[in-house]
A = this chain, B = another copy of it.
Amino acid sequence: MATIKEIADKAGVSIGTVDRIIHNRGRYSAQTAARVQSIIRETGYRPNLMARNLSTSGSCRIGVLLPLPEQDSGYWSLPLGGIQRAGGELEPFGLSLEIRHYNRYHSAGNNSFAAASSELLSEKLDGLLITPLLEPSTLEFLDRVKAGIPDLPVIFFDTDLPKAPRLSYIGQDSYQSGRLAARLMNMLVTAEQPPGVPRILIITPDSDNEHLKNRICGFTEHFIGELEVLKVTVESDHNLGIFHKLLDSELQEKSQKGPPGGIFVADASAHFVADYIVSSDSLPADRPSLIGYDLVPENCKWLKDGVIDFLLTQRPAEQGYNGVNRLFRKIFLDEDAPEIEYTPIDIVTKENLDYLVDRKAREVL
């Protein structure tokens, strides 16, 4: 591999000049620049990263901004796990993380987001990984970032804001996962239920979340049978009592139709429904099939117990891990990340759960 010294020798200049040309720090003539550039191209020179890192005592600080880990049934601890794993693995190479959380349901003024983002702004960052759930606040934050550090690489994960100035997005195809849920539900209800057209309940918080809408859209377009959508309106985070009351009234009111053959829960709160199912007397011993999302601890428990039949998930830990990794490689190696990266949709049953939950999370169960 060629070194700066060799380039310098070939060009008949000193390493200082080559270095200035490479980093266009001025102090060279256009002619020498052209000569050196062409030699660099010819030799296929690439800087030695070890030397560079040693010399600059290269630190790569990545700011991370995501909701409080315990929110959404603990969903956010999953990407957080991946983020921290990547942070640990890349620490020997000079990476450090600045992780901040915000309350995604604290909408009145969004002080929580503002505080967390301001903290990040005051750090000297080389990259930014964020979940842009609160669109206006995020855009405002990015404006301020841009004013301070003009071309800071920013990666979104979980949710996209295509119009925002981001490097790339790592996330999920929620429509397709809803479609897959429908296929599985079709199998379940014809296999385990009495003949006849099954009635299916779709449970979703009444939020304007794109993912939830898309999952439900994918589900309804591909499910064969009668569907009924039950929106559970929750002001802030979910809550067991609310769910139970809503499900009670739902099943009482519509009891003439009989119990549902299956329930599709579009977010991570399937465990609330599972709680309800096992504790409720109004449902027959022949439980409805239940499909939900995400490997939060409570969901895993009910999957193991057989109350939840399937959990779908789109590898939140991998999203976090890849986000950090991509940013690091962008900053450290100037390697380009794909603009959009979808993580695979996993189908989880009690048979393959164990190998999908990482060790730390498994200890909780």
A interface with B by C-beta (< 8 Å): 48-51, 53-54, 58, 89, 92-94, 173, 176-177, 179-180, 183, 186-188, 190-192, 329, 333, 342-347, 349, 351-352, 354-356
Q: Contact between A180 and B349 (Cβ–Cβ < 8 Å)?
A: yes
A180 and B351 in contact, given A54-B51, A92-B333, A190-B191 (Cβ under 8 angstroms): yes
Report how far A92 CA is from B94 CA in the complex, Å: 15
Contacts of A190 in B (CB 8 A): 190-192
Picked from B58, B177, B188, B329, the residue with its CB within 8 Å of the CB of A50 is B58
Contacts A50-B53, A179-B351 known; 12 new A-B pairs at CB < 8 A:
A54-B54, A173-B355, A176-B352, A177-B352, A180-B349, A180-B352, A183-B351, A186-B191, A187-B187, A190-B190, A347-B347, A347-B349
Could you tell me if A49 and B93 are in contact, using CB atoms closer than 8 angstroms? yes
Q: How far is B91's CA from A48's CA once the two chains are assembled, in angstroms? A: 11
Bound-complex Cα distance A89 to B329 (A): 9
Pairwise interchain contact B333-A355, C-beta atoms closer than 8 A: no
A53 to B51, CA, bound (A): 9
CB distance from A164 to the nearest CB of B (A): 24
A294 to chain B, nearest CB (A): 15
How far, in angstroms, from A333 to B90 measured CA to CA in the complex? 11
SS class of chain A's interface: helix, strand, loop or mixed?
helix
- Set of chain B residues within 8 Å of A89, measured between Cβ atoms: 329
Residues of B within 8 A of A329 (CB): 89
Q: List 7 A-B contacts (CB under 8 A).
A: A180-B349, A183-B349, A187-B191, A191-B191, A344-B355, A345-B352, A345-B355
Contacts of A345 in B (CB 8 A): 351-352, 355
Residue of B nearest to A356 (CB): B344
Whether A346 pairs with B346 at a CB distance below 8 angstroms is yes
Complex contacts, A94 vs chain B, CB 8 Å: 50
**Smallest CB separation, A52 vs chain B (Å):** 8
Q: How far is the CA of A190 from the CA of B186 in the complex (A)?
A: 12
Closest B residue to A48 by beta carbon equals B54
A173: which B residues are within 8 A, CB to CB? 355
With CB as the reference atom, state the residue of chain B lying closest to A344. B355
- Give the shortest distance, in Å, between A200 (CB) and chain B (any CB): 15
A350 CB → nearest B CB, Å: 9
Q: How far, in Å, is A349 (CB) from chain B's closest CB?
A: 6
Residues of B within 8 A of A93 (CB): 49-50, 93
Partner of A92, one of B49, B54, B351, B354: B49
In the complex, the chain B residue whose C-beta lies closest to that of A345 is: B352
Distance between A230 CB and nearest chain B CB, rounded to angstroms: 24
